[in-house]
Amino acid sequence: MTISFEPTEEQRLMRDTVAQFGAEKLRPRLRETEAARDLAADLRSGLAELGIGALWTPEAHGGAGTSVRTAVLIEEELGFSDAGAAFALPGPNTLAHALVELGDEAQQTKHFAPFAQDPSRVGAVAFSEGRGLARPGFAATAKREGASWILEGEKKFVLNAGRAGTYVVFAQTDEAKGWNGIGAFVVDAAAKGFSVVRRHQTVGLDAAAFGDVKLEGVRVEESDRLAGGDDFDAALRRFFARQSLQVAARAVGVARAGYELARAYADERKAFGKPIAHFQAIAFLIADRLMDVDGARGLVWRAAWTLDGAGSDHWKKKHKGDTELLLRCAESVAEATEVAVRCGDDCIQVHGGAGFVRDFIAEKLFRDAKQMALCTSSATTSDQLFAALALGAPLDPAIVLPVPEIQPVFI
Amino acid sequence: MEFELSKKQQELRDNLNQLGRFVIRPMSLQMDREHQVPATFLQQFVSMANSMRSDDDLAAAFGEGKKEPPSLDKPSFTNRTSLIGAEELAWADASVLLCLPGPGLGGPPIRATGTAEQKQKYFGMIHDADKRGELAWGAYGLTEPSAGSDVSGIQSTCRKDGKHWVINGRKCYITNGARALWVVIFASVDLNKGRAGHRAFVVEKGTTGFSVGKIEDKLGLRASETAELVLEDCRVPEENLLGGEDAYLTKSTGFQTAMKTFDATRPLVASMALGIGRAAYEHARDAVKDRYMIGRPIARYHALVERLAKMHRRLEAARMLTYRAAYMADVGQPNAKEASMSKAAAAQAAVKACVEAIEICGAEGTISKEDALLEKWFRDIKVYDIFEGTGQVQRVVISKRIFSDLKSF
């Protein structure tokens, strides 16, 4: 084995199929999708037919059985076509990452099943809260009552709030233990005491629903508590790593869209008698953005390759723990989201005044990119995680995870 | 889409890392002050490389001149493997890498456009010298006082005179130019013809009319020899015209020879920059580590570690671009744009890393001592955004290619 940048024939085929769907269906209707604040029914079913919703679901539980490398190729195309649509996709979404990393086999079997039966079903993870508390940990609580847990409190910034049929809800199980006293619980949207209290109007990705949910005495059985194997903290970090990588791949797509649109506009727009692409101030700017896009993509690919290998015996023999996996995902998401925002920004700049009006896509890319940068472990948090790993420092959740007391994010 | 290094690549990296850590770095400052790498070290290095010759990839990393002539026209190691070796040596000391005996930058143009006889002769000269236990170099003479990145603007001239060519002109900033057994020299048959007039010659040391001007005193890479070369009615035999006369009747011109060279060397230079950048990053990381680990990571260190992480990921992103350019070269895909992207991004990330590392270390970062080479790397790195085409020229190459399919171009 050695370094290679060539996708397999199968990967190319899948990527191209999604790219075509994106170019024909998603991109032409991106304004419609945004205005409706949802995917139209035909787009929803078209995407479900392509099986994209189950991209991150394990094959044993109804997933497509594609590698993470294939998944990131497809995610990039979705981000490139319409990032808003990508985040509004039906399927388990973030819930898949939570079940994979935090759930045991029986829990995965049980909770992935409804998604296999109904591809239009949606999943969500309720992690974030408003401002942090005086003590470390969540305000939402889970208290034992016999063989069950009773959940109380409010969770914020939940992707797919209101659309999801299944949620994984994070809550404090032991207030005295801070971030070591938290738990994750699978909650059905129909559960008594569970409600969606609002949907936010967001700067970007508004086709996806970001909202808050309320828990008023929601009862969850012990068997639906996701224990994260032997090490809940480590599993939680891997959950964020996976989720970050998915966002990073989409961010590369948005960045590439910014680059492509800027490039095309620079050829059309004339100033001082020639297309502005002939001025080095513009040409170099666009060249720099291509370097950004391709560099970030390289990091995403390498992280995906790492994640693909992470389960194998070869990997376990070679690596102790998750360090490399976490490093690769952290650097990917930090770089990709930063690059996406820069590409969106420069795409507007190249368009000049035209970039500021909604006749052109530039302004939407900028908004989507900024939103995306807060849709997962942000660059700030990811850089802290990277550094803590590189320095061999303790992985304090309050520093290396996007917990509310540091920086609430959309999950 | 694979990113695992082969076993050979890992061995190469690890061996060079050990050598760099325990042998090269401890003498790095002294070499910098004395403007040279000790010949005894280079000889040891060469014999060590020769002893590993059974391992093709490994031996090749120490310079093609050390290989048997039959495989001269086709390097048996991949661009990817060369990058890994180059990065590791540059991590130790970039000047040492530039001083290694072998054809140097003169190798790629001969390999790309030389005739079989020329390859045999010039790679053979270095190989034979090596057999005799002598150190031998080749060099690449393109840059002139008035033509750096704009290669088409060279003013050196050549004219045919019987069985000889007569070359006149000055070349500057030539690595190993004074000590080289031969130098690939570019000159023009007709200054009005621009690129089409370019011819490439191999000029041997000692040729009448060929002399060394001044040896440059530089900001960094001070142990590396950078020479000015003077050609005054320099007469070279007609068989020294690279590729032979016929080659210039078809489209393979001297200018293309220069450009082909860059497609292979730019990623190599990029990986050297990454080696220096990584060295600076690691230095800063270790400096921060002591303080961060005291157990009360004060606010300054939260800000610092973010800078560290950013430095690192920029270097890594550039590394991906560099690996890609080398991969494309290895599988025979045109990579001019990607080679320039890797060079531009790596140089930028590495210069930034060195600047940031000094800032992170504070006053300590500017002090010159054997165990703290940061100030040296800071001086060494700057030229990586200049030689093999400045960052700006890379962007000219990139933007020309990314706009080439648009209607106004």
The full set of domain ranges for chain B reads 7-122, 137-252, 255-402
Q: Give yes or no: residues A349 and A258 share one domain.
A: yes
Residue-wise DSSP of A204-259: S-TTS-EEEEEEEEEEEEGGGEE--TT-HHHHHHHHHHHHHHHHHHHHHHHHHHHH
Residues B195-251: tens digit of each pLDDT: 888 899 999 999 999 999 999 999 999 999 999 999 999 999 999 999 888 877 765
pTM over 0.80: yes
Alpha carbon distances (Å) from A388 to A67, A302, A324, B168, B354: 29, 21, 12, 59, 21
Task: Enumerate the residues of chain A whose CB falls inside 8 A of the CB of residue B6.
Answer: 1-2
Domain-terminating residue out of A192, A211, A226: A226
Beta bridge partners of A123: A166
Q: Is residue A375 included in any domain, yes or no?
A: yes
Q: What is the domain-level CATH number for residue A143?
A: 2.40.110.10
CB nearest to A298's CB, from B9, B302, B324: B324
Q: Is A130 helix (H, G, I), strand (E, B) or coil?
A: coil
CA dist B127 and B150 (Å) reads: 33
**Whether A206 contacts A245, CB under 8 Å:** no
Distance from CA of A291 to the nearest CA of B (A): 6
Task: Enumerate the residues of chain B whose CB falls inside 8 A of the CB of residue A266.
Answer: 403
Burial of B314 (0-12, 13-18, 19+ CB in 10 A): buried
Interface test with B, best of A5, A14, A265 (most B CBs within 10 A): A5
Distance from CA of B372 to the nearest CA of A (A): 19
Q: Give yes or no: residues A395 and A344 share one domain.
A: yes
Q: Give yes or no: residues A218 and A298 share one domain.
A: no
Domain-terminating residue out of A83, A117, A151: A117
Q: Is B295 helix (H, G, I), strand (E, B) or coil?
A: coil
**Whether A305 contacts B2, CB under 8 Å:** yes
Q: What is the domain-level CATH number for residue A386?
A: 1.20.140.10
Q: Give yes or no: residues A217 and A255 share one domain.
A: no
Q: Which pLDDT tens digits describe chain A residue by residue (411 residues)?
A: 689 999 999 999 999 999 999 999 999 999 999 999 999 999 999 998 888 989 999 999 999 889 999 999 999 999 999 999 999 999 999 999 999 999 999 999 999 999 999 989 999 999 999 877 888 999 999 999 999 999 999 999 999 999 999 999 999 999 999 999 999 999 999 999 999 999 999 999 999 999 999 999 999 999 999 999 889 999 999 999 999 999 999 999 999 999 999 999 999 999 999 999 999 999 999 999 999 999 999 999 999 999 998 767 776 667 667 899 999 999 999 999 999 999 999 999 999 999 999 999 999 999 999 999 999 989 999 999 999 999 988 898 888 999 988 888 999
Complex ipTM value = 0.94
CB-CB under 8 Å, A288 with B395? yes
Closest-CA residue of chain A to B308: A387
The DSSP element (H or E) to which A200 belongs, if any, is: none
Distance from CA of B393 to the nearest CA of A (A): 10
Q: What is the domain-level CATH number for residue A20?
A: 1.10.540.10
Residues A25-71: tens digit of each pLDDT: 999 999 999 999 999 999 999 998 888 989 999 999 999 889 999 99
Domain hosting A252: range is 232-400
B87 given a catalytic annotation? no
CB-CB under 8 Å, B409 with A267? yes
Which numeric CATH code is attached to B255-402? 1.20.140.10
Q: Is residue A317 included in any domain, yes or no?
A: yes
CA dist A301 and B318 (Å) reads: 14
**Whether B325 contacts B270, CB under 8 Å:** yes
Whose CA is closest to B100, among B188, B15, B34, B39? B39
CB nearest to A284's CB, from B321, B327, B395: B395
Q: Is residue A143 included in any domain, yes or no?
A: yes
CA dist A65 and A70 (Å) reads: 10
Q: Is residue A406 included in any domain, yes or no?
A: no
Class of domain B7-122: mainly alpha
Q: Give yes or no: residues A217 and A241 share one domain.
A: no
CB nearest to A386's CB, from B80, B312, B320: B312
Number of A/B CB contacts below 8 angstroms equals 158
CA dist B75 and B61 (Å) reads: 10
Q: Give yes or no: residues A196 and A317 share one domain.
A: no
Distance from CA of A1 to the nearest CA of B (A): 6
Task: Enumerate the residues of chain B whose CB falls inside 8 A of the CB of residue A286.
Answer: 399, 402
Class of domain B137-252: mainly beta
CA dist B185 and B231 (Å) reads: 10
CA dist B51 and A257 (Å) reads: 52
Residues A146-191: tens digit of each pLDDT: 999 999 999 999 999 999 999 999 999 999 999 999 999 999 999 9
